[in-house]
């Protein structure tokens, strides 16, 4: 199976409001983007949101960042895979046995979603790591967890576009990189600390770009999506 396919843009549907979700899905175009369902939307609407998104023709990244004992994570991943999601993720900090169990469980599903590891949340910096008793720098830890994900057979990792080049160089072009924190120069950065333009992210080796508020909070999400898509195709 080809791991990297168009569209490369993933729109984060970060809302708990079913009416807002319907409006967004009506304005987005499955030819131009995939969509991401995270903890807020999934907790608000439950698993029916997966069917709602599929019914509109979108492929779905289920961003629930599973992190638990291997058996529990493996079972949850299998349920998500059987629901037909296109991509799902697990915390690499859950350890190699957990990552390998997740890999093995989705292999038994008739669907084969991409399985992605979350390395270090971008909200965590040097001082937060020290607080946790971790002495590696954030970059060293991201590299270490990317390596661990690769060894456990995951398809790729979520990382910042600024770390993408380093990881691609070490782990190869087949290792899929999913990068949030994407902004056009005219966009507000919101709470993202390290923002990168879509073109720069692709040049750094990102395979899929996650964009939330610049599209979902635009006056016209449809126009803004087209603007992002144009930049990526040029």
Give contact residues for ligand C5P (rule: CB under 6 A).
Answer: 12, 14, 38, 121-122, 158, 180-181, 190, 192, 210-213
Residue pair 23/49 in contact (Cβ under 8 Å)? The answer is no
CB-wise, 71 or 125, nearer to ligand C5P?
A: 125
CB-wise, 60 or 158, nearer to ligand C5P?
A: 158
Residue pair 37/58 in contact (Cβ under 8 Å)? The answer is no
Alpha helices in 57-197 (DSSP H): 70-82, 96-107, 126-131, 138-151, 161-171
Minimum distance of ligand C5P from residue 110's CB (angstroms) = 28
Segment (H or E) for 50: helix 48-55
Rounded Cα–Cα distance for residues 201 and 5 (Å): 16
DSSP 196: B
CB-wise, 192 or 204, nearer to ligand C5P?
A: 192
Q: How many CB atoms lie within 10 A of CB 126?
A: 12
User: To the nearest 10°, the Cα dihedral for 186, 187, 188, 193?
Assistant: -100
CB-wise, 75 or 166, nearer to ligand C5P?
A: 166
Minimum distance of ligand C5P from residue 169's CB (angstroms) = 20
CB-wise, 75 or 184, nearer to ligand C5P?
A: 184
Minimum distance of ligand C5P from residue 134's CB (angstroms) = 17
Minimum distance of ligand C5P from residue 14's CB (angstroms) = 5
Rounded Cα–Cα distance for residues 77 and 230 (Å): 34
Retrieve residue 57's tokens: 């023709």
Which among 3, 20, 39, 65 is annotated as catalytic? Answer: 65
Minimum distance of ligand C5P from residue 157's CB (angstroms) = 10
Name 208's bridge partners: 178
Describe the crossing of helices 70-82 and 96-107 by its angle, rounded to 10 degrees: 30
- Let me know if 65 is a catalytic residue: yes
Shortest-Cβ-distance residue relative to ligand C5P: 212
Q: How many CB atoms lie within 10 A of CB 130?
A: 10
Residues known to be catalytic: 65
């Amino acid at each position: 199976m080809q791991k990297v396919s168009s569209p490369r843009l993933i729109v984060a549907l970060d809302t708990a409001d079913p009416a807002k979700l319907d409006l967004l899905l009506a304005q987005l175009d499955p030819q131009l983007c995939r969509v991401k369902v995270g903890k807020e939307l999934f907790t608000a609407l439950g698993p029916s949101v997966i069917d709602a998104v599929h019914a509109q023709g979108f492929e779905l990244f289920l961003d629930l960042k599973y992190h638990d004992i291997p058996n529990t994570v493996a079972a949850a991943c299998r349920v998500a895979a059987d629901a037909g999601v296109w991509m799902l993720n697990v915390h690499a900090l859950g350890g190699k046995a957990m990552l390998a169990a997740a890999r093995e469980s989705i292999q038994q599903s008739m669907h084969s979603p991409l399985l992605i590891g979350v390395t270090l949340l971008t909200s965590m910096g040097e001082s937060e790591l020290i607080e946790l008793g971790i002495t590696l720098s954030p970059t060293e830890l991201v590299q270490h967890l990317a390596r661990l994900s690769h060894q456990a057979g995951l398809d790729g990792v979520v990382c910042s576009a600024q770390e993408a080049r380093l990881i691609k160089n070490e782990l190869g072009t087949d290792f899929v990189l999913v990068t949030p924190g994407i902004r056009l120069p005219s966009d507000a950065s919101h709470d993202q600390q390290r923002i990168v333009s879509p073109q720069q992210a692709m040049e750094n080796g990102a395979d899929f770009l996650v964009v939330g508020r610049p599209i979902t909070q635009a006056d016209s999400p449809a126009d803004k999506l087209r603007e992002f898509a144009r930049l990526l195709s040029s």
